[in-house]
Each structure stands twice: as C-alpha cells, then as structure tokens.
Amino acid sequence: MGYADGKFRHESLQDRKTIKSLLEALTKGISKGELTLGEGDDELVLPVDGLMTLRLKADRSDGQCKVDMRISWSEQQEKPAKSAAPTVK
C-alpha cells in the first residue's frame, strides 16, 4: 500500500480540552495503524507499524512551560542485522 509524500504543519492556540482530544485522536490512529492529519481539504495519511522512536522534552523557565513530543518510525521495517552469538569461555 503506497502513500503520497507530503508534509502537514499546524500551529494554533487551543484550550487543554481540545489538546486532550487531539492527543486521544493521535492515540486512536496509532492503535488502528494509520494516522490521518488534515486541515481543510488537505490530508496526510501516515501508515503506523513496527517499532517507533519516542522523544519527550519538557522545560519550565521564567513562567513559560513547554513539552515537546516527537514520534518517528520507518514505513519499511528493516530486519535487524543478524549478529553472531556471544562467546562465553
């Protein structure tokens, strides 16, 4: 199954209830194996499968709070290179 390449970017001011709903939608998309991100008529569909890398960062400085979350994965899962068994003597 092929998907078109593309980018999706969005930034807006939202309340915590809306942010919670968006995070729940991301969770559901990951669970079903496909994320669909869109705005207006534009959509980007991302297949989700295999192992994923999660990066979390949080900062609080001078009354400003920030949490960054990044999830990344490869569409084609490469089989890990088979390594030789360790030697024990």
pLDDT digits (tens, 9 = 90+) for 28-42: 999 999 999 999 888
| Residue 85 lies inside a defined structural domain of this protein | no
| Residue 36 lies inside a defined structural domain of this protein | yes
* Residue whose tokens read 């729940």: 24
| Residue 49 lies inside a defined structural domain of this protein | yes
* Counted domains in the chain: 1
The pair of structure tokens assigned to 18 is: 């809306």
Task: List the beta bridge partners of residue 46.
Answer: 35
pLDDT digits (tens, 9 = 90+) for 43-60: 999 999 999 999 999 999
| Residue 23 lies inside a defined structural domain of this protein | yes
| Residue 60 lies inside a defined structural domain of this protein | yes
Structural domain of residue 67, as residue ranges?
A: 16-72
Q: Is the pTM of this model over 0.85?
A: no
Q: What is the 3-state secondary structure (H, E, C) of 25-86?
A: HHHHHHHHCEEEEEECCEEEEEECCCCCEEEEEEEEECCEEEEEEEEECCCCCCCCCCCCCC
| Residue 43 lies inside a defined structural domain of this protein | yes
Sequence-distant (6+) residues with CB within 8 A of 60 are 66
| Residue 89 lies inside a defined structural domain of this protein | no
Going by pLDDT thresholds of 50, 70 and 90, the confidence category of residue 77 is low
| Residue 10 lies inside a defined structural domain of this protein | no
